[in-house]
Structure 1
Amino acid sequence: MGIEVTGLLSLIWLIIVIWAIVKVAKSSASGLAKLIWIVVLLIFPLVGLIVWFLFGPKG
């Protein structure tokens, strides 16, 4: 049962990270800011997502 739960949580986490990347790409931030946020989200998914929620581009 542990493998199924871990797989499901990983899938949910992947969906959340992809959602954040799409939100960054659609934001009104500059091109360089978008690139930096996307790289941070890809390299540091957990920390990057938390930092993005707190300080990322709004709107």
Structure 2
Amino acid sequence: MFGIGILGVLIYAYTIYDVVSSKFAGNNDKLIWVLIVLFLPLLGTVLWFVIGRKSATKT
């Protein structure tokens, strides 16, 4: 069970890194995505990988 927790934290940290290092078209999009991921960890991570990565480009 402890390994699953570590894996969850690593995925969560990678999601935050991915959001911060992405380039967005709008000015507030990055802030909104960071807040979604921070306040809704599981749902925010899933939404980022399903919806968010399509709207952002890597820098």
Both structures adopt the same fold (TM-score exceeding 0.5): yes
State TM-score, norm by structure 1. Answer: 0.76
Q: Structure 1 residue runs of 4+, over 2 Å off?
A: none
- Comparing both chains, which one has the higher relative contact order based on Cα–Cα distances under 8 Å and sequence gaps of 6 or more? 2
Between the aligned residues of both structures, percent identity stands at: 28
What is the root-mean-square deviation in Å for CA atoms of aligned residues? 1.4
Q: Which has the higher strand share?
A: 2
Separation of aligned partners in 1, 2:18 and 2:30: 10
The runs of 5 or more residues in structure 2 that have no matched partner are: none
Gaps of 5+ in 1: none
How many residues matched? 54
Q: Give 1 or 2 for the bigger CA radius of gyration.
A: 1
For residues 12 and 58 of structure 1, the distance between their equivalents in structure 2, rounded to whole angstroms, comes to 25
TM-score calculated relative to the size of structure 2: 0.76
- 2:11 aligned with 1:16, yes or no? yes
